[in-house]
Amino acid sequence: MSVSGAVKRIIPLFDRVLVQRVKAAERTASGLYIPEKSQETLNEAVVVAVGPGAPDKDGVVRPVAVKEGERILLPPYGGNSVKVGDQEYFLYRDSEILAKLSE
């Protein structure tokens, strides 16, 4: 099974969202390589999978606010790390996501 196939098998529960952080630039615009220690960690991610939503106090399931493929803004800390092969993904609650990014 391929790595992308293994990721597709991860289905978040309730209001959780599986995301993959966007990689920071490894080169400058002029072509110089940026050392790994100097690369900043971006708070931007792409949604890989979403859960069905969480029930509220009345038992009504509230859907998640984001969809697969959308770019989002994350808090600098938090989330649960999930490793699949050599790729790292994160699980966040829908309420922890700061914003959607328009294209």
**What share of the chain has pLDDT > 90, as a percent?**
16
CATH number for 68 = 2.30.33.40
For residue 78, pLDDT over 50 is answered with: yes
Please tell me the predicted confidence (pLDDT) of residue 84.
82
Q: Which residue range(s) make up the domain with 14?
A: 3-101
N-terminal to C-terminal alpha carbon distance within the chain: 32
Q: For residue 55, what are the CA distances in angstroms to 10, 13, 66?
A: 21, 11, 17
Number of domains in the chain: 1
CB atoms within 10 A of CB 72: 20
pLDDT band at 6 (very low <50, low <70, confident <90, very high): low
- DSSP lists the bridge partners of residue 48 as none
pLDDT digits (tens, 9 = 90+) for 83-102: 888 888 999 999 889 898 88
Please tell me the predicted confidence (pLDDT) of residue 71.
92
- 29 vs 51: which has the higher pLDDT: 51
User: Can you tell me whether residue 27 is helix, strand or coil?
Assistant: strand
